[in-house]
A and B are shown apart, each in its own frame.
Chain A
Amino acid sequence: MLTINSIKKGIVIDHIKAGCGIKIFNYLGLDKADFRVALIMNVESQKLGRKDIIKIENVIDIDYTVLGLIDPNITIDIIEDEKIKEKINLKLPEKVVDVIKCKNPRCITSIEKYVPNVFYLVDEQKGEYRCEYCDEVHTLEEAKV
């Protein structure tokens, strides 16, 4: 049995889809952290079957928008004095810029690289976004960079 101690003050990123923990770990630059960090993979979960968890013993700024795009089911617990002070449920953002990329080969963004990739949420349930320029609708999975 692997045991990871609870943290005094910091952030727990929970309910990460199994296998996605490393993406978030890398996105947050935690490989360069000088504080205690744990990436726990393939933890048993009633909700997901298996999940990843990241525990960060520090208070850092996190762009929740991007985490929501990586996996909207993620939950964030803000810990103080070893207790959960705040629980944040992520939502998909209405507008995202330069996070996902249009996959329509006929879209102008496929040839004009200076253009910011702008998308608008059309269906939160399905995670579908519409490209600002060509109106092509992509699921997040399709449009991830």
Chain B
Amino acid sequence: MLKGRHLIDPMDFSVDEIDSILNLADRIVENPEKYIHVCDGKLMATLFYEPSTRTRFSFEAAMLRLGGKVMGFSEPNSSSVAKGESVADTIRTISCYADIAVMRHPKEGAPKIASLYSDIPVINAGDGGHQHPTQTLTDLLTIRSVKKTLSNLTIGLCGDLKFGRTVHSLIKSMSRYENNKFVLISPKELKVPDYIRKEVLEKKNIEFIEVERIEEVIDTLDILYVTRVQRERFFNEEDYIRLKDSYILDMKKMKMAKDDMIVMHPLPRVNEIDYEVDSDPRAYYFKQARYGMFVRMALIMKLLGVDEIC
């Protein structure tokens, strides 16, 4: 039962609960018309303490497509936050008006605090470099929709694996399904943090390898999840120049990949996927953004408890 719950960390929900959200999202994808009034009379507050285009629009589109309404702020200077109001007081006030709240905050743990003081469900829409659970739901729905399974997959994660919150969440979530293997592709400076390697991969005895170049492994992958490598993350210019091209996906590298490999990216992209790849049928990053809206529709319905009437 997800009614009234918060989503702060992707691991807050069991595998069965996540499956139930993905199943509902599948039904919405098949027949969105059926759901256009399920949130009539419901109000969602979007509390965005830092700029976001994709995530905020995705949530707003999701609620509007369910028949609900949306209010909120997209930068803190236009709210009481500018006067120094605490997260706890803001959410307690918003709880009086809205039925559900979505929060993005630059500080890690802010949505968690909000959930402790809230009478309505709080969804974490990204807290600093920490968690972004609805991106993870988006990724899971995309993978399951294309591959028809979340098990027995070889998942390549490429780019900044150290600071990339979407990567950490995806590894944690996909490690809960059977027989998945991870191929971690990054410069040595940007490898996954120790807690992911030790607490998740090694602890659960999950097969993984760490390499520095896409070319070495791309032919083995079912999924290639690309993230951006930022120049400022490198300790020296020499390493950046040596490795930067290895982290740009182009058609030359795509030719080495399997015919049914899919390319995913949490977006926004800068230059890590060449525009020529966009027309390849294996490029799924824009479809992934569309799945993001559907999975958020399903999540909102579940947390509001309106899925039972469908």
Contacts and interface: CB of A to CB of B under 8 A. Distances in A.
Interface residues of A, number: 17
Most buried by A among B88, B110, B127, B129: B110
A134 B74 CA distance: 23
B86 A106 contact: no
Nearest to B131: A135
A39 B86 CA distance: 44
Contacts of B86: 112, 114
A108 interface: yes
Contacts of A112: 86-88, 110, 113
A110 B107 contact: yes
Interface residues of B, number: 16
Most buried by A among B105, B108, B112, B195: B108
B46 to A, nearest CB: 19
A107 B113 contact: no
Contacts of A114: 86, 88
B162 to A, nearest CB: 14
A106 B113 contact: no
A134 B109 contact: yes
A137 B87 contact: no
A65 to B, nearest CB: 22
Interface in B51-108: 86-88, 105-108
A104 B108 contact: yes
A43 interface: no
A106 B88 contact: no
Nearest to B199: A122
A131 B109 contact: yes
A120 to B, nearest CB: 13
Contact of B129 (A106, A109, A115): A106
Contacts, number: 48
B127 to A, nearest CB: 8
Per DSSP, chain A at the interface is loop
B87 A108 contact: yes
Given A106-B108, A108-B110, A108-B112, A134 B130 contact: yes
Contact of B130 (A109, A111, A115, A135): A135
Contacts of B88: 112, 114-115
A91 B60 CA distance: 49
Contact of A108 (B105, B129, B195): B105
B110 A137 contact: no
A108 B88 CA distance: 11
Which 8 residue pairs of A and B lie closest in terms of their CB atoms, listed nearest first? A133-B109, A134-B108, A108-B109, A108-B107, A108-B110, A134-B109, A106-B128, A106-B108
23 contacts: A104-B108, A106-B129, A106-B130, A107-B108, A108-B105, A108-B112, A110-B107, A111-B107, A112-B86, A112-B113, A131-B109, A132-B112, A133-B108, A133-B109, A133-B110, A133-B112, A134-B108, A134-B109, A134-B128, A134-B130, A135-B130, A135-B195, A136-B108
Interface of A: 104, 106-112, 114-115, 131-137
